[in-house]
Structure 1
Amino acid sequence: MSGIFPETVMQTSRLTLRPFTGGDIDDTRAACSDELTQRWLPLPRPYTREDATAWCTEVAHALRESGDGIHFAIADASNDRLMGTVGLKKTDWRARVSEVGYWVAPWARGRGIAAEATRVLGEWLLTDRAFQRMELLAATENTASQKVALRAGLHREGVLRNAGFVHAGRVDLVLFSLVPQDFQSRPPAPTDPSS
Structure 2
Amino acid sequence: MSDVFPERVLHAGSITLRPFSADDVEDNRTACADEVVQRWIPLPRPYTVEASVDWCTKTAHTLRESGDGIHFAISDPADGRLLGAVGLKRTDWHELVSEVGYWIAPWARGRGIAAQATRALGHWLLTEQGFERLELKAAVGNIPSRKTAIKAGLHREGILRKAGRLHAGRVDVVLYSLIPADL
TM superposition score normalised by structure 1: 0.93
Unaligned runs of 5+ in 2: none
Partner of 1:163: 163
Mapped to 2, the partners of 1:109 and 1:72 lie a distance apart of 17
Report the counterpart of residue 66 of structure 2 in structure 1: 66
Counterparts of 1:1-195 in structure 2, within 5 Å, are 3-183=3-183
Instruction: Give aligned-pair identity as a percent.
Output: 64
CA offset digits 1:86-123 (Å, max 9, x no partner): 00000000000000000000000000000000000000
Give the match's secondary structure for 1:119.
Answer: helix
Structure 1 residue 141: Cα displacement: 0.3
CA distance in 2 between partners of 1:113 and 1:12 (Å): 10
CA deviations over 1:43-74 (Å, ceiling 9, x no partner): 00000000000000000000000000000000
- Deviation, 1:170, is 0.9
The alignment partner of 1:115 has SS state of helix
Moved over 2 A (4+): none
Residue of structure 2 equivalent to 1:192: none
SS in 2 for 1:159: strand
> What corresponds to 1:193 in structure 2?
none
State TM-score, norm by structure 2.
Answer: 0.99
Q: Tell me by how many angstroms 1:78 deviates.
A: 1.1
Q: Which amino acid in 1 is paired with 2:59?
A: V
Residue identity in the other structure for 1:17: L
* Contact 1:2-1:94 at 8 Å conserved across structures: no
Q: How far 1:14 sits from its partner (Å)?
A: 1.1
Cα RMSD for the two superposed structures: 0.9
Q: 1:136 & 1:12 partners in 2: Cα distance? A: 20
Residues 13-43 of structure 1: CA distance to partner in whole angstroms, max 9, x if unpaired? 3101000000000000000000000000000
Aligned length: 183
**What is the aligned partner in structure 2 of residue 191 from structure 1?**
none
8 Å CA contact 1:18, 1:73 repeated in 2: yes
State the secondary structure of the residue aligned to 2:127.
helix
For the 8 Å contact 1:134–1:179, the answer to whether it is kept is yes
**Structure 1 CA distance for aligned equivalents of residues 60 and 67 of structure 2:** 11
